[in-house]
Amino acid sequence: MKNCQAIEIRNLRYTYPDGTQALKDVNLRVENGESVAIIGPNGAGKSTLLLHLNGILKGEGEVKIFGLSVSNSNIKEVRRRVGLVFQDPDDQLFCPSVFDDVAFGPINMGLPHDEVILRTEMALGAVGLPGFEKKSAYHLSLGQKKRAAIATVLSMQPDILAIDEPSSNLDPRSRRELIKVLRSLPVTKILITHDLPFVVEICKRTIIMDEGKVVADGKVEEIFSDGALLEIHGLEIPYGYSAPSLLPTL
Protein backbone atom coordinates (compact mmCIF):
# COMPACT_ATOMS: atom_id res chain seq x y z
CA MET A 1 0.00 0.00 0.00
CA LYS A 2 3.05 2.26 0.24
CA ASN A 3 2.60 3.95 -3.10
CA CYS A 4 -1.19 3.88 -3.39
CA GLN A 5 -3.33 6.93 -3.68
CA ALA A 6 -5.12 7.47 -0.39
CA ILE A 7 -7.57 10.15 -1.51
CA GLU A 8 -8.80 11.14 -4.95
CA ILE A 9 -11.39 13.89 -5.38
CA ARG A 10 -12.71 14.91 -8.78
CA ASN A 11 -14.97 17.85 -9.56
CA LEU A 12 -16.55 17.83 -6.10
CA ARG A 13 -19.40 20.29 -5.63
CA TYR A 14 -21.60 20.81 -2.61
CA THR A 15 -24.41 23.25 -1.90
CA TYR A 16 -26.01 23.59 1.54
CA PRO A 17 -29.82 23.58 1.83
CA ASP A 18 -29.82 27.39 2.23
CA GLY A 19 -28.25 27.73 -1.20
CA THR A 20 -24.68 28.40 -0.05
CA GLN A 21 -22.27 26.80 -2.51
CA ALA A 22 -19.54 25.48 -0.22
CA LEU A 23 -17.46 23.48 -2.70
CA LYS A 24 -16.91 24.39 -6.34
CA ASP A 25 -15.31 21.73 -8.55
CA VAL A 26 -12.65 20.68 -6.06
CA ASN A 27 -9.94 18.39 -7.43
CA LEU A 28 -7.43 16.86 -5.05
CA ARG A 29 -5.13 13.87 -4.69
CA VAL A 30 -3.30 12.73 -1.57
CA GLU A 31 -0.78 9.91 -1.61
CA ASN A 32 -0.63 7.28 1.10
CA GLY A 33 1.58 8.42 3.97
CA GLU A 34 1.41 12.15 3.19
CA SER A 35 0.75 14.75 5.89
CA VAL A 36 -1.24 17.56 4.30
CA ALA A 37 -2.59 20.78 5.78
CA ILE A 38 -5.63 22.51 4.33
CA ILE A 39 -5.69 26.19 5.25
CA GLY A 40 -7.73 29.23 4.32
CA PRO A 41 -10.16 31.80 5.71
CA ASN A 42 -13.38 30.97 7.52
CA GLY A 43 -16.06 29.84 5.10
CA ALA A 44 -13.55 28.57 2.54
CA GLY A 45 -15.08 25.08 2.49
CA LYS A 46 -12.33 23.29 4.42
CA SER A 47 -14.49 21.52 7.01
CA THR A 48 -17.14 20.77 4.39
CA LEU A 49 -14.49 19.03 2.32
CA LEU A 50 -13.34 17.01 5.33
CA LEU A 51 -16.88 15.74 5.94
CA HIS A 52 -16.96 14.30 2.42
CA LEU A 53 -14.03 11.98 3.10
CA ASN A 54 -16.14 9.49 5.03
CA GLY A 55 -19.56 10.24 3.64
CA ILE A 56 -21.04 12.44 6.35
CA LEU A 57 -21.78 14.87 3.52
CA LYS A 58 -22.32 13.79 -0.08
CA GLY A 59 -22.05 16.24 -2.94
CA GLU A 60 -21.80 15.98 -6.71
CA GLY A 61 -18.59 14.66 -8.18
CA GLU A 62 -16.35 11.80 -7.11
CA VAL A 63 -14.55 10.98 -3.87
CA LYS A 64 -12.43 7.84 -3.63
CA ILE A 65 -10.58 6.40 -0.65
CA PHE A 66 -7.87 3.94 -1.66
CA GLY A 67 -9.80 3.40 -4.88
CA LEU A 68 -13.16 2.87 -3.15
CA SER A 69 -15.94 5.30 -4.07
CA VAL A 70 -17.53 6.97 -1.06
CA SER A 71 -20.95 5.47 -1.68
CA ASN A 72 -23.61 3.64 0.29
CA SER A 73 -22.27 0.27 -0.83
CA ASN A 74 -18.75 1.04 0.49
CA ILE A 75 -19.54 3.35 3.39
CA LYS A 76 -18.73 0.89 6.19
CA GLU A 77 -15.24 0.17 4.81
CA VAL A 78 -14.63 3.83 3.96
CA ARG A 79 -15.45 4.90 7.51
CA ARG A 80 -13.14 2.25 8.89
CA ARG A 81 -10.30 3.57 6.76
CA VAL A 82 -10.94 7.28 7.34
CA GLY A 83 -10.80 8.37 10.97
CA LEU A 84 -12.46 11.76 11.35
CA VAL A 85 -11.71 13.87 14.44
CA PHE A 86 -14.01 16.82 15.00
CA GLN A 87 -12.91 20.25 16.23
CA ASP A 88 -14.79 19.86 19.54
CA PRO A 89 -13.70 16.66 21.32
CA ASP A 90 -16.97 16.63 23.28
CA ASP A 91 -18.64 15.61 20.02
CA GLN A 92 -16.73 12.30 20.24
CA LEU A 93 -16.45 11.71 23.98
CA PHE A 94 -19.88 10.80 25.29
CA CYS A 95 -19.46 7.56 27.26
CA PRO A 96 -19.09 7.13 31.05
CA SER A 97 -15.34 6.46 30.81
CA VAL A 98 -12.42 7.01 28.45
CA PHE A 99 -12.20 3.23 27.97
CA ASP A 100 -15.83 3.10 26.82
CA ASP A 101 -15.26 5.96 24.39
CA VAL A 102 -12.17 4.41 22.82
CA ALA A 103 -13.67 0.91 22.78
CA PHE A 104 -16.91 2.10 21.19
CA GLY A 105 -15.70 1.77 17.58
CA PRO A 106 -14.09 -1.68 17.89
CA ILE A 107 -17.15 -3.00 19.73
CA ASN A 108 -19.40 -1.77 16.92
CA MET A 109 -17.08 -3.44 14.43
CA GLY A 110 -17.99 -6.71 16.13
CA LEU A 111 -14.45 -7.47 17.28
CA PRO A 112 -13.79 -10.06 20.02
CA HIS A 113 -13.49 -8.79 23.60
CA ASP A 114 -9.74 -9.41 23.82
CA GLU A 115 -9.15 -7.53 20.56
CA VAL A 116 -11.24 -4.60 21.80
CA ILE A 117 -9.16 -4.37 24.96
CA LEU A 118 -5.89 -4.64 23.00
CA ARG A 119 -6.89 -1.94 20.52
CA THR A 120 -8.07 0.37 23.28
CA GLU A 121 -4.82 0.01 25.21
CA MET A 122 -2.74 0.54 22.06
CA ALA A 123 -4.73 3.63 21.03
CA LEU A 124 -4.43 5.24 24.46
CA GLY A 125 -0.73 4.42 24.54
CA ALA A 126 -0.26 6.02 21.12
CA VAL A 127 -1.72 9.34 22.33
CA GLY A 128 0.11 9.31 25.66
CA LEU A 129 -2.89 8.45 27.81
CA PRO A 130 -2.17 4.98 29.24
CA GLY A 131 -3.87 4.50 32.58
CA PHE A 132 -6.73 6.88 31.71
CA GLU A 133 -9.19 4.06 30.97
CA LYS A 134 -11.35 4.57 34.06
CA LYS A 135 -11.36 8.36 33.96
CA SER A 136 -14.35 10.35 32.79
CA ALA A 137 -13.71 12.59 29.79
CA TYR A 138 -15.53 15.30 31.75
CA HIS A 139 -12.54 15.53 34.11
CA LEU A 140 -9.85 15.71 31.41
CA SER A 141 -8.10 18.88 30.30
CA LEU A 142 -8.84 20.12 26.79
CA GLY A 143 -5.49 18.81 25.58
CA GLN A 144 -6.20 15.39 27.06
CA LYS A 145 -9.68 15.43 25.52
CA LYS A 146 -8.21 16.18 22.09
CA ARG A 147 -5.84 13.22 22.41
CA ALA A 148 -8.60 10.96 23.75
CA ALA A 149 -10.76 11.91 20.74
CA ILE A 150 -7.90 10.89 18.45
CA ALA A 151 -7.65 7.59 20.36
CA THR A 152 -11.34 6.86 19.65
CA VAL A 153 -10.42 6.92 15.98
CA LEU A 154 -7.06 5.13 16.25
CA SER A 155 -8.71 2.15 17.95
CA MET A 156 -10.39 1.43 14.62
CA GLN A 157 -6.94 1.37 12.95
CA PRO A 158 -7.69 3.81 10.13
CA ASP A 159 -5.39 4.42 7.18
CA ILE A 160 -6.27 8.13 7.07
CA LEU A 161 -6.54 10.53 10.01
CA ALA A 162 -8.56 13.65 9.17
CA ILE A 163 -8.56 16.27 11.93
CA ASP A 164 -10.44 19.57 12.11
CA GLU A 165 -8.58 22.34 14.00
CA PRO A 166 -6.45 20.00 16.16
CA SER A 167 -4.62 22.75 18.08
CA SER A 168 -7.45 25.23 18.67
CA ASN A 169 -7.64 26.59 22.24
CA LEU A 170 -4.73 24.47 23.48
CA ASP A 171 -2.13 25.81 25.89
CA PRO A 172 1.53 25.59 24.74
CA ARG A 173 2.27 22.36 26.64
CA SER A 174 -0.84 20.58 25.32
CA ARG A 175 -0.10 21.84 21.82
CA ARG A 176 3.46 20.48 21.99
CA GLU A 177 2.21 17.10 23.26
CA LEU A 178 -0.28 16.91 20.39
CA ILE A 179 2.44 17.71 17.85
CA LYS A 180 4.51 14.82 19.20
CA VAL A 181 1.53 12.48 18.96
CA LEU A 182 0.68 13.43 15.38
CA ARG A 183 4.29 13.19 14.24
CA SER A 184 4.50 9.66 15.64
CA LEU A 185 1.44 8.27 13.85
CA PRO A 186 2.35 6.34 10.68
CA VAL A 187 -0.85 7.13 8.78
CA THR A 188 -1.94 9.57 6.10
CA LYS A 189 -2.89 12.84 7.84
CA ILE A 190 -5.17 15.63 6.68
CA LEU A 191 -5.24 18.66 8.98
CA ILE A 192 -7.66 21.56 8.76
CA THR A 193 -6.16 24.43 10.73
CA HIS A 194 -5.67 28.16 11.15
CA ASP A 195 -2.51 27.48 13.19
CA LEU A 196 0.16 27.90 10.52
CA PRO A 197 3.15 27.26 12.84
CA PHE A 198 1.45 23.95 13.68
CA VAL A 199 1.48 23.14 9.96
CA VAL A 200 5.22 23.77 9.78
CA GLU A 201 5.78 21.26 12.60
CA ILE A 202 3.83 18.39 11.02
CA CYS A 203 3.17 18.78 7.29
CA LYS A 204 5.26 18.90 4.14
CA ARG A 205 2.41 19.91 1.83
CA THR A 206 -0.14 22.71 2.17
CA ILE A 207 -3.33 23.40 0.27
CA ILE A 208 -5.06 26.78 0.37
CA MET A 209 -8.83 26.86 -0.08
CA ASP A 210 -10.90 29.99 -0.59
CA GLU A 211 -14.51 30.47 -1.63
CA GLY A 212 -15.00 26.73 -2.07
CA LYS A 213 -12.01 26.21 -4.37
CA VAL A 214 -8.45 24.93 -4.15
CA VAL A 215 -6.42 28.03 -5.02
CA ALA A 216 -2.89 26.80 -4.21
CA ASP A 217 -1.21 23.48 -3.56
CA GLY A 218 2.47 22.97 -2.87
CA LYS A 219 5.27 22.35 -0.41
CA VAL A 220 4.96 24.14 2.92
CA GLU A 221 8.10 26.19 2.32
CA GLU A 222 6.85 27.34 -1.07
CA ILE A 223 3.38 28.36 0.12
CA PHE A 224 4.61 30.02 3.31
CA SER A 225 7.30 31.98 1.48
CA ASP A 226 4.72 33.66 -0.76
CA GLY A 227 3.46 36.52 1.38
CA ALA A 228 1.37 37.99 -1.44
CA LEU A 229 -0.45 34.69 -2.01
CA LEU A 230 -1.17 34.30 1.69
CA GLU A 231 -2.40 37.87 2.04
CA ILE A 232 -4.81 37.56 -0.88
CA HIS A 233 -6.49 34.66 0.89
CA GLY A 234 -6.63 36.18 4.37
CA LEU A 235 -3.50 34.50 5.71
CA GLU A 236 -0.03 35.62 6.70
CA ILE A 237 3.46 34.20 6.98
CA PRO A 238 3.82 32.59 10.44
CA TYR A 239 5.68 34.87 12.86
CA GLY A 240 9.40 34.09 12.84
CA TYR A 241 9.08 31.64 9.94
CA SER A 242 12.13 31.33 7.75
CA ALA A 243 11.79 28.98 4.81
CA PRO A 244 14.63 26.61 4.09
CA SER A 245 16.55 27.40 0.94
CA LEU A 246 14.73 26.30 -2.19
CA LEU A 247 18.02 26.15 -4.12
CA PRO A 248 19.52 22.72 -4.78
CA THR A 249 22.47 21.72 -2.63
CA LEU A 250 25.70 21.65 -4.64
Residue 148 lies in a domain: no
Q: Assess contact for 14 and 23: CB atoms under 8 A.
A: yes
Q: State which residues form the domain around 199.
A: 5-87+159-232
CATH of the domain at 202: 3.40.50.300
Say how many domains are in the chain: 1
Residue 239 lies in a domain: no
Residue 93 lies in a domain: no
Residues 6 or more apart whose Cβ sits within 8 Å of residue 173? 143
With a cut of 80, say whether residue 240 has pLDDT above it.
no
pLDDT > 90: what percent of the chain? 89
Residue 59 lies in a domain: yes
Instruction: State the average pLDDT over residues 86-91.
Output: 92
Segment 197-235, tens digit of pLDDT? 999 999 999 999 999 999 999 999 999 999 999 999 999
**What per-residue confidence (pLDDT) applies to 249?**
45
Segment 160-179, tens digit of pLDDT? 999 999 999 899 999 999 99
Residue 141 lies in a domain: no
**What per-residue confidence (pLDDT) applies to 1?**
45
Residue 115 lies in a domain: no
Distance (Å, whole) CA 45 – CA 114: 41
**Average model confidence (pLDDT) across the chain:** 92
What residues does 188 pair with on adjacent strands?
A: 160
Residue 176 lies in a domain: yes
Residue 169 lies in a domain: yes
Query: What Cα–Cα distance (Å) separates residue 153 from each residue in 38, 122, 150, 160, 249?
Result: 20, 12, 5, 10, 41
